[in-house]
Amino acid sequence: MKDELVTVSTYSSAIDAHLAKNKLESEGILAFLFDENMVSLNPLYNISIGGIKLKTLESDRAQAEAVLSSLQDQPYTNEQNEVITCPQCGSENISYAYDSSNRLKSFMGFLLALVTFSLPLLSKDRYTCNQCHHVFQK
């Protein structure tokens, strides 16, 4: 029987993808990243190719999903190792996203970004509270 690669998770950030891959490998699970270079080249490609795919062998799928779910249960922390909470409701149940939608204020800004390929530089990190759906920045 042939053991095939299956996608266990997708990421919009190469850093998050590598952290998850390293965690799986530290648990003895063989893991691979697909489409990392395309997303790293330009984060806008993330939408068209479906993100960075973390794949593992079919036989390791259940164990990999258990390891990754334990990672998701840990809260986000800042540089001082303090837990990041929602400023509106105080929940620690937040999600991280890479936002480039609100950074182009005008058509000229879009043209500048298009010509200079600076669109990734205009992006900001943002968090979304999974409890009250409030979107906020660090």
Query: pLDDT tens digit string along 85-95?
Result: 899 998 888 87
Residues 64 and 104 in one domain: no
Residues 66 and 53 in one domain: yes
pTM exceeds cut of 0.85: no
Q: The tokens of 46 are what?
A: 């993330």
Residues 65 and 81 in one domain: no
Residues 91 and 125 in one domain: yes
Q: Looking at the 3D structure of the chain, how many domains does it have?
A: 2
Residues 67 and 91 in one domain: no
The model's pLDDT over 73-125, given as tens digits with 9 standing for 90+, comes to 788 888 888 888 899 998 888 877 654 444 444 565 556 555 655 555 555 56
Domain limits for position 19:
5-72
Looking at residue 5, its pLDDT comes to 95
Looking at residue 1, its pLDDT comes to 56
Last residue in a domain, options 72, 87, 107: 72
The model's pLDDT over 2-30, given as tens digits with 9 standing for 90+, comes to 789 999 999 888 888 999 999 999 999 99
Residues 18 and 63 in one domain: yes
Last residue in a domain, options 47, 72, 97: 72
Residues 49 and 89 in one domain: no
Residues 14 and 68 in one domain: yes
Looking at residue 57, its pLDDT comes to 96
On average, the pLDDT of the chain sits at 81
| Gyration radius of the chain over CA positions | 17
Residues 66 and 114 in one domain: no
Last residue in a domain, options 28, 52, 72: 72
Given a cut of 90, whether residue 128 has pLDDT beyond it is: no
